[in-house]
Structures are given as C-alpha cells and as structure tokens.
Amino acid sequence: MGNHRLLLYFTLFFISYLLWAQWQLDYGPKVADSGEIATDRTGKTTGDGDIDVPVADAPDASMQKKAVAEIRSIEKSSQVIKVVTDLVTAEIDTRGGSIRKMTLRNYAAHAETPDIKLDLLNEKEMSYHVAQSGLVSVNADSAPTHNTNYEAEQFLYRLAEGEDELRVPLHWSGVNGERVTKTFIFKRDDYTINVSHSIVAGHKEWSGSQYVQLVRASAAGMSESNFIRSYAGGVIYNDEIKYEKYDSDDIAAENLKRELKDGWLAMLQHYFLAAWIPEKNNTNLYYSRYSAKSDRYTLGTRTPAQRLEPGEKTEFSARLVVGPKLQYRLEKIEPGLELTVDYGVLTIIAKPLFWLLDIYHGWFNNWGWAIIFLTITVKGVFYKLSEMSYRSMARMRKVAPRIKQMKEKYGDDRQGMSKAMMDMYKREKINPMGGCLPILVQIPVFLSLYWVLLESVEMRHAPFALWINNLSAMDPYFVLPVIMGVSMFVQQKLNPAPIDPVQQKVFQIMPFAFTAMFAFFPSGLVLYWVVNNLLSITQQWIITKRIENS
C-alpha cells in the first residue's frame, strides 16, 4: 500500500505547488502607491517628481534640475528612426536614442494572427518596455542623457542583401564644445545590438559615465498561458553572485544599489528577454528604481567615471539583447545568459533533456514528435526501474483477496493484521515498498521535463498534427486531457486497490481532477503525459498478466 500513498502524496504536492504558484502571482502582496516619488543620490525618495536619470559620481544639484526639466518638456524635434533587419524591426527615438519599439519578425504576437508580429519593446501604457542609455556627468550640460535630443543622419535603415552589419549613428554637441556620437550596430541573424557613446571633450575638462537601463510596466500578466506562468521580472548576474532575481515587488520595495564586476542585467518574461551587457573589466553600479507616479520599474547599470582633458576622446560601449530565450544562442553571447531559460533547481537534469529533445526535432522537424520520442527514450531508460515497481504492484494485486480475508478475520486487531501480512509478504517474497524507489527516482525527471516543455520558446506556437496546431496552448477540443484521464483510470485498475476507504475515494476522484486541471495545460505537456501513461499501461499490463499466470 506504500505505492498508493507515495503516488497520492506526490499528486497532492504537485497540485498544491501549481495552485500556490498561481496564487502568489495573482494575489501576492503588492506595494501600495505612495504618490509622486523620485530617487536622490542616496537611494532615498524625495517629492520633486520622477527623475529617471542616474546621478553622476560627484554631487551636482544641476543634474537633478536638468533631469526634471528634460522629463517635463517633450521637445518638438523628437523623431523616429526605423531600422529593419532580417530578424527585427526597431524604432529609435532621436530623443535620447532610446529604443522605444522592437518587433520580432519571426514571432507572432498570437498564434491566431500570425501576420501580426510580437512587439517585445513598446510604449503602450499597460505593457510599457523600453531600452534606454545615455551619459551622465558632474556638469549637467556636458553629457546627453536619454532625454536629450540627437541629430540623425537619416530616418530609415534597412539591412540589404549581402550586408552583415547596419550602423545607425546619432550626433550631439554640448555647450562647451563636447561632441558625442551614439552608434547602434545591428547584425544579420543576431538579436544582439552594439551600442556605443564616442565622446570628444570640448574646451573644458570632461568627466562622466555611461548608463544603460530597462524600463517597463509591471511584469504581472506577462505569461502567455492563463493557468501556468513562468517568472517575469528583473535579473542581475555576475560570476560572484551568479543569478539573482528582482521582481516588481522587490524593485518597488527597495532601491537596488550594488557594485559588481562585469555581469549583466535583464528583464524577463515567458519565452523572451531584454538584457544589457556592459563592457568588460569594469566594476559597475547596478541600480533599480520604481516610479509610483507612472507605475514603471527601472533596472540599470552605470560605469565608473572617466576623466578627459580638453580635446581628448574616449568611447563607452554596451550590448543590448532583445529577443527569444534561445539557450544555445544565449550561452554564446555571454556567460550565464542561458540561465534566463529558467529550469530552476532541476537545470542539471533539464538541460540534457532539452538537448535530446532538440536532436529529435532535428530528425522529425516537428516538436510534437520530438516530445513523443523523448518520452519513449525516458521510459526506456527507466524500463528496469518501472519493471520492479510494476512487478511489486502485480504481486500485491495477486494477494489482494487474501489481504481482504485477513482484514475480515482480524477486524480491529491492527497488530495481528500487520503481523499476518508481514508473514505473508515473507512467504510470497513480496516487498511492499518495492515500487517506491522507482517512482521516487522518476519524479525529478518528470518535473524537469515539465519545465523543459514549459520554458522552451521553441515550443511556442509550434504545431503538431490534426487539431493540435499550438503545443504551447491548451487543447482546443480537450481531446488529450480526456485521453489522459481515461489512461489514469485504466492504470488504477491495474494497480492493487487500496485497503483504506478514504484512499479508495481519493483515487477514484483523481482521474477527473487531473482531466479538469490538464484541460488548461499547454498541449505539449499533456501530450507527454498521455504518451507516458500509454507506455506505462502497456508495460504494466504485460507484467501483471505474467505474474497472474505464474
């Protein structure tokens, strides 16, 4: 009977985990609106409005005044530069050189409208998400922030056939003769954009830093599934701290102010990311801010200050990654960036599973068939362990009538009943816990597969066959969930019935409960479960018949 309890506990744990995770996302504590606030140099709040420009290393009151003035005055000369490459369509605002819109040309916003592509960066109020960068200096008039207007050379750039690189320069001149050229470099077949600020000091000494930041509305609701949601929020990483999450509540509760060597920062949502990677060999200041007035969250980093004599020049650079979380691409861009495909604590198991899944996709060019053959492979690896479990269950099933007779004979004498059962198990060479270990070993693998299928952008909008045209969405006709429920019912009939009446009732309800729950799961997950159940039923039925006929 230990097998039943173990399966029951695992099932209840799994359901409880999903419900808890969903409750946290929907009803978790939020930070109350505290009115109009702004951050000062110390990371505290003031009442002077929303200042979204990081402060230079040395104190200068004019920096604060300039930031407020720039934000409150939208200058008429602001224009949009459109950039079209093989992978993205970007819109760069001449006001600050901010990337205010980024459309992924190979990804539809919704499966039902494949011609309408996904805007990963945009200025819509509910899903506001932009990439900003600029310079800050102790002299507020000598460095262009993301609120300063630039001059553009042209307003349409298109990556032509045979070209591998597209350069988009913007120009700015300061009151003291400073000259800044901000350049965006787009590359073919690449979601990484190089962003640089080249500055030539004027007739005065210049000192300043480059900052890069991501600003977005609350990450809540960034999942594409109504029932299952993955992490949406901020992340910072370097070799020392590794991978740390800062969601909307964290940013709203306290301003991040942390010096880290190298590393990167990102804003994540299901399947996609935007990340800034500052240049190497610097100890940068990582910071965050929350604007209660606009309900927007900022995560950014600022380089150490550089000092130039009149006429000297220098260049700051950073890389911006905006696109899908394709882990093979990400791990080549920057160490740790592949961790944004968040498999959690089971990453060590999940990565090999995805590797094998990707191989099968290369064979069949269909993610549905890849899931099926991955399930068959995993089932084959655990064949012997499953066989041990099913043999134990078959033997228990064979002696079930005798156990029922013992129960009638001993009644409330639990001690006598237990001794009689142990004696029978010894005579029949039955280990009542023989099926537990195989189940325990397979649980981490199942959970890893769960996260692989949930987190992999490759599964997004991927068709399978017949009515299943989107493996990342629920089955529109609920056929797979019903098959899954029926297969669970059949499996129960192959198992020995629990003696405890309460357990019997719970197990009778489970197929219906799982069918209802899995009706809202992505069909790719349900497909895995259905195939696994059918293989298990086949193996268990053969073993059970052999034991019963022996």
Query: Are 336 and 354 found together in one domain?
Result: no
Is 27 within the bounds of a domain? no
Query: Are 358 and 323 found together in one domain?
Result: no
> 331-373: per-residue pLDDT in tens?
899 999 999 998 878 888 999 999 999 999 999 999 999 999 9
Pick the more confident residue, 52 or 274. 274
Q: Where does 188-312 show beta strands of DSSP type E?
A: 192-200, 206-217, 233-238, 242-246, 257-261, 264-269, 272-278, 283-291, 296-302, 306-308
Amino acid, res. 134: G
Give CA separation, 154 vs 171, 365, 488, 545, in Å: 12, 42, 63, 77
Helix (H, G, I), strand (E, B) or coil at 113: strand
Is 29 within the bounds of a domain? no
Rounded to whole angstroms, how far apart are CA atoms 459 and 472?
A: 6
Total count of domains within the chain = 2
Pick the more confident residue, 40 or 293. 293
What letter does residue 179 receive in the DSSP assignment? Answer: E
pLDDT at 85 over 90: yes
Split at pLDDT 50, 70, 90, the class of 503 is low
> What is the pLDDT at residue 77?
63
What letter does residue 231 receive in the DSSP assignment? Answer: -
> What is the pLDDT at residue 48?
34
Query: Are 399 and 439 found together in one domain?
Result: yes
Q: Please identify which residue in the block is written with the tokens 């029951």.
A: 8
Q: Please identify which residue in the block is written with the tokens 């599964």.
A: 459
For residue 225, give the nearest of 15, 459, 465, 16 by alpha carbon: 459
> 456-479: per-residue pLDDT in tens?
898 888 899 889 988 888 888 999
Domain endpoint, select from 341, 375, 399: 341
Instruction: Work out the number of other CB atoms within 10 angstroms of the CB of residue 501.
Output: 8
Question: Is the Cβ–Cβ distance between 243 and 265 less than 8 Å?
Answer: no
For residue 258, what is the domain's CATH number? 2.70.98.90
Query: Phi and psi (nearest 5°) for 311?
Result: 85, -15
> What is the pLDDT at residue 47?
32
Q: What is the mean pLDDT of the chain?
A: 80
Is 333 within the bounds of a domain? yes
The mean per-residue pLDDT over the stretch 372-378 comes to 92
Is 26 within the bounds of a domain? no
> What is the pLDDT at residue 179?
94
pLDDT at 211 over 70: yes
Rounded to the nearest 10°, the torsion over CA 483, 484, 487, 492 is: -140
Query: Are 440 and 500 found together in one domain?
Result: yes
Query: Are 14 and 46 found together in one domain?
Result: no
Rounded to whole angstroms, how far apart are CA atoms 454 and 225?
A: 10
Pick the more confident residue, 425 or 97. 97
Query: Are 362 and 433 found together in one domain?
Result: yes
Is 54 within the bounds of a domain? yes
Query: Are 10 and 99 found together in one domain?
Result: no
The mean per-residue pLDDT over the stretch 274-299 comes to 92
Query: Are 223 and 130 found together in one domain?
Result: yes
Widest CA span of the chain, in angstroms? Answer: 104
Query: Are 128 and 262 found together in one domain?
Result: yes
Is 25 within the bounds of a domain? no
Q: Please identify which residue in the block is written with the tokens 């409960």.
A: 513
Instruction: Work out the number of other CB atoms within 10 angstroms of the CB of residue 302.
Output: 24
Identify the weakest region by mean pLDDT among 23-32, 54-63, 191-200, 291-300: 23-32
Query: Are 387 and 522 found together in one domain?
Result: yes
As a whole number of Å, the CA-based R_g of the chain is 30
Residue range(s) defining the domain that contains residue 508: 2-20+349-549
Question: Is the Cβ–Cβ distance between 322 and 83 less than 8 Å?
Answer: no
Is 542 within the bounds of a domain? yes
Query: Are 283 and 364 found together in one domain?
Result: no
> 35-80: per-residue pLDDT in tens?
332 333 333 333 333 446 676 554 444 444 454 444 444 444 679 9
The share of the chain scoring above pLDDT 90, in percent, equals 43
pLDDT at 435 over 60: no
Domain endpoint, select from 313, 341, 369: 341
Rounded to whole angstroms, how far apart are CA atoms 400 and 420?
A: 13
Is 135 within the bounds of a domain? yes
The mean per-residue pLDDT over the stretch 428-451 comes to 70
Domain endpoint, select from 319, 341, 363: 341
Query: Are 362 and 508 found together in one domain?
Result: yes
Rounded to whole angstroms, how far apart are CA atoms 48 and 52?
A: 12
